Amino acid sequence: MARLTAKDPFIHPECEITDSSFGAYVEIGKGSRVNNSRFGDYSYCDRYADIANAQIGKFANIAAFARIGATDHPLHTAACHHFLYRSDDYWDNAGRDEDFFAHRRSRTAQIGHDTWIGAGAMIKPEVTLGDGAVVAAGAVVTKDVEPYSIVAGTPAKVLRVRQPPEIAERLIALAWWDWSHEDIRQALPDFRSLAAEAFLEKYET
């Protein structure tokens, strides 16, 4: 029997999951923390990923210790410490700064379909990672990444393209990630053996 199912996500031990939802065939690795996020079908994260305020497309590959939507501290105030907004942790008569938390939650990171985020990489809030993009291990992504680009470094810069623009456009138009589970299974031998252009030539209509 297949380990992953359409019904429930496969959530490994020691995870912290809050205010999040998951599509079909999703897996959340051991010790990961997921907050205010949505995982599309077939997406997964490996061990100890930390994901907050993110919309994740389908077939996203998120490696161990990656961080998406890393939360910020206020920098325009006299202090940047937790006591400003987690005030109830320090005083019985002070409440949390709910406006600060609402602003933080609104700064959503957008992760496209068929993306790969390498081990220990960080995606900052409000960054969009285009369909098919790849983020190298340890990279810090502070700006939007074009579809089917490969970025690396701190801050991340384009290393090369995963697919030429014309192939990338055709893959996005094909949108194989929206195919049914059965159709993807039928095409599995071609996914495995054909280069992207040959795959497109076979399946474009």
Name the residues annotated as catalytic. 73
Residue 130 parent element (H or E): none
Give the integer Cα–Cα distance in Å for 33 and 117: 16
Q: What is the DSSP string of 89-126?
A: GT-TT----HHHHHHHHH--EEE-TT-EE-TT-EE-TT
102 and 151 Cβ atoms separated by less than 8 Å: no
Q: Is 120 helix (H, G, I), strand (E, B) or coil?
A: coil
Side chain identity, residue 119: A
110 and 127 Cβ atoms separated by less than 8 Å: yes
- The tokens for 92 are 């019985």
